[in-house]
């Protein structure tokens, strides 16, 4: 723990920081004396030689940093696989290096601007010695002093540099958490322009290509692997839970999860592509399914499939029901266009069965062991507000002319717990999944696990709850002693106007599992996270672990509360 910046840093993180500092120290120590000596001798008697040397030095540092920015971008990266780095670590390294790159780029540009001001004040001294467009060369080496294609390219570097800087500035401004969460499409498409920025930067500095070559090669290999995953379509079913919440169930071939059984972390996410919502966008979603548990697997066309479930909210939703819109294309956000499939009968040849149709029968035989316990073994506490019963909400049944798809979704609904559609509205669709990508977490190593989540951050907590339930079911089946992980408390903070009954929360029943739901809003007191952690973890911080997910303000508050518990470790979802 680093008290000054209030950040949890692992030994690996400290080693990485020291490695970066050492790398830049070596680069500066190796290049600066030579650059200083070269430019001061070449421009002897002229002002600003030190600025020209700094232009070259900052450019070289930007070259190396640009290469490191690209290294962790790959989701199937060799570095991540070899060093067993989790996605959040890769993201943090990428973000840190990107900010550092922008600092070097700004320093590079400002040092040139400072030299250009000197040039403007002493044109007679500089004229025919240094070109104003590129002072790292002599006048005859740059257009208009020379007229070869090489001299023209050297003169163009100022323009390619400005163009790349403008793109990087746009990427920086849209990458801040508040902007990224509120305008994800703007962030996404601006970052796609980074491909153009990389090409322009390589035209700006020939050395940049060699520094970025390893990252570019890994990036191309990564896209090849991702393309293989995205090549296969998956059958899916989406239904409305009310108040802008939607549940998405996808049938994924078991072979895609061949290594998931060995993964002890219940936290996993996929990148979803739905061509009817956007041809180019891939959106990450944390699954509510514990992928290592195969008890809900189904057989379709002789092949095992795993029903993967996701929760999401329509970004344009204000916590109230939206009027039906005739076309998904009128929705600006990706989630809005996906949600529109549920609200119209025009998409994907979907046929809706009215709520007065016979409800779908669910086979809960596989969960009887875990659901036979008494009510006191598991509790759901709704704080500050009473829960609206969902018993009156009918289930929905959907059908398609495509026999295989209908059979897939029907079988999934029979075996996957909590798949009813409370609003009676659902739709079939086809989409593509990339992943899974796991976040390193081992809750089984701790006695008490606390999930502090807000809004849609509940997805990861539900996956952890399913892992806890699977552990208890395995214990009952084998009649073994009680496991080390004996308690799970999920604290979910959600605005009153956004609250709905999540089917998984209602279905999960396991001894030691406790859901505490805090509804917030006008006139309501926010939960005291510090007091909750003190109640659950005080005195046994070394045997406790906390999962945090939600808006940035909520995450910051939760992390500060965790710091006050000695020995407590936590994981923050990005």
Residue pLDDT, tens place only, 415-426: 444 444 554 567
Q: Which helix (H) or strand (E) holds 283?
A: strand 283-286
Fold of the CATH domain 232-385+396-572: Rossmann fold (3.40.50)
Residue 421, pLDDT score: 59
Residue 262 φ/ψ, nearest 5 degrees: -80, -10
pLDDT in tens, 38-76: 999 998 889 999 999 999 999 999 999 999 998 887 777
CA distance 473 to 115: 71
Distances (CA, A) of 24 to 19, 34, 51, 58, 110: 9, 16, 19, 11, 20
Residue 14, pLDDT score: 77
Q: Which helix (H) or strand (E) holds 204?
A: helix 194-204
Residue 414, pLDDT score: 45
CA atoms within 13 A on the CB side of 563: 15
Tokens of 49: 């030689």
Q: Where are the domains of the chain?
A: 11-228, 232-385+396-572
Residue 237, pLDDT score: 92
- pTM comes to 0.76
Residue 329, pLDDT score: 53
DSSP, collapsed to helix, strand or coil, labels residue 344 as coil
Q: Where are the alpha helices (DSSP H) in 10-127?
A: 11-42, 49-70, 78-83, 87-121, 123-126
DSSP, collapsed to helix, strand or coil, labels residue 248 as strand
Ranges of the chain with pLDDT below 50: 1-6, 317-326, 345-379, 382-408, 410-420, 423
DSSP, collapsed to helix, strand or coil, labels residue 148 as coil
Residue 383, pLDDT score: 47
- Domains 11-228 and 232-385+396-572 are alike in CATH topology: no
Rg (CA), the chain: 28
Write the CATH number of the domain with boundaries 11-228: 1.20.120
Residue 8, pLDDT score: 58
Q: Which residues contact 483 (CB under 8 A, 6 or more apart)?
A: 444, 471, 472, 475
Q: Which residues contact 100 (CB under 8 A, 6 or more apart)?
A: 65
Tokens of 510: 């396991």
Residue 413, pLDDT score: 46
Residue 438, pLDDT score: 86
């Amino acid at each position: 723990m680093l008290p000054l910046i209030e950040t949890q840093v692992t030994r690996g993180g400290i080693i990485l920081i020291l490695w970066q500092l050492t790398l830049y120290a070596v680069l500066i120590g190796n290049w600066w004396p030579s650059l200083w000596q070269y430019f001061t001798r070449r421009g002897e008697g002229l002002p600003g030689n030190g600025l020209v040397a700094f232009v070259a030095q900052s450019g070289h540092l930007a070259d190396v940093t640009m290469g490191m920015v690209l290294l962790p971008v790959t989701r199937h990266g060799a570095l991540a696989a070899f060093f067993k780095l989790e996605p959040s670590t890769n993201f943090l390294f990428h973000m840190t290096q990107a900010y550092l790159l922008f600092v070097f780029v700004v320093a590079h540009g400002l040092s040139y601007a400072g030299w250009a001001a000197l040039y403007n004040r002493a044109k007679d001294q500089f004229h025919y010695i240094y070109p104003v467009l590129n002072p790292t060369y002599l006048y005859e080496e740059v257009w208009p002093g020379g007229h070869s294609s090489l001299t023209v390219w050297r003169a163009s570097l100022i323009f390619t540099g400005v163009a790349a800087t403008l793109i990087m500035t746009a990427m920086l401004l849209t990458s801040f958490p508040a902007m990224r969460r509120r305008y994800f499409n703007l962030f996404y498409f601006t970052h796609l322009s980074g491909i153009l920025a990389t090409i322009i930067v390589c035209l700006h500095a020939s050395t940049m290509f060699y520094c970025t070559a390893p990252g570019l090669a890994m990036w191309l290999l990564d896209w090849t692997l991702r393309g293989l995953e995205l090549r296969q379509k998956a059958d899916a079913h989406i239904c409305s839970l009310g108040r802008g919440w939607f549940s998405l169930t996808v049938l994924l071939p078991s072979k895609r999860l061949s290594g998931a059984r060995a993964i002890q972390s219940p936290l996993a996410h996929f990148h979803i592509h739905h061509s009817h919502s956007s041809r180019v966008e891939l959106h990450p979603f944390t699954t509510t399914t514990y992928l290592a548990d195969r008890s809900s697997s189904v057989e379709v066309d002789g092949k095992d499939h795993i029903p993967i479930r996701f929760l999401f909210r329509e970004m344009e939703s204000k916590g109230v029901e939206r009027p039906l819109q005739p076309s998904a294309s009128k929705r600006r956000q990706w989630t809005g266009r996906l949600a529109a499939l549920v609200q119209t009968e025009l998409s994907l040849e979907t046929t809706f069965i009215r709520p007065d149709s016979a409800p779908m029968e669910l086979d809960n035989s596989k969960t009887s062991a875990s659901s036979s316990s008494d009510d006191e073994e598991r509790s759901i506490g709704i704080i500050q507000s009473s829960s609206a019963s969902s018993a009156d909400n009918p289930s929905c049944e959907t059908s398609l002319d495509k026999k295989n798809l209908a059979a897939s979704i029907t079988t999934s609904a029979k075996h996957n717990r909590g798949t009813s559609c409370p609003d009676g509205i659902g739709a079939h669709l086809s989409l593509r999944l990339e992943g899974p990508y796991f976040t390193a977490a081992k809750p089984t190593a701790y006695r008490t696990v606390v999930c502090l989540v807000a809004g849609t951050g509940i997805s990861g907590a539900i996956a952890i709850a399913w892992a806890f339930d699977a552990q208890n079911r395995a214990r009952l089946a084998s009649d073994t002693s009680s496991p080390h992980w004996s308690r799970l408390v999920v604290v979910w903070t959600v605005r009153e106007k956004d609250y709905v009954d999540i089917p998984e929360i209602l279905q999960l029943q396991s001894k030691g599992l406790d859901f505490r739901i805090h509804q917030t809003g006008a006139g309501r007191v926010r939960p005291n996270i510090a007091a909750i952690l003190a109640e659950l973890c005080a005195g046994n911080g070394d045997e406790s672990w906390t999962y945090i997910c939600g808006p940035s303000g909520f995450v910051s508050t939760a992390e500060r509360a965790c710091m006050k518990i000695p020995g407590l470790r936590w994981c923050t979802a990005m």
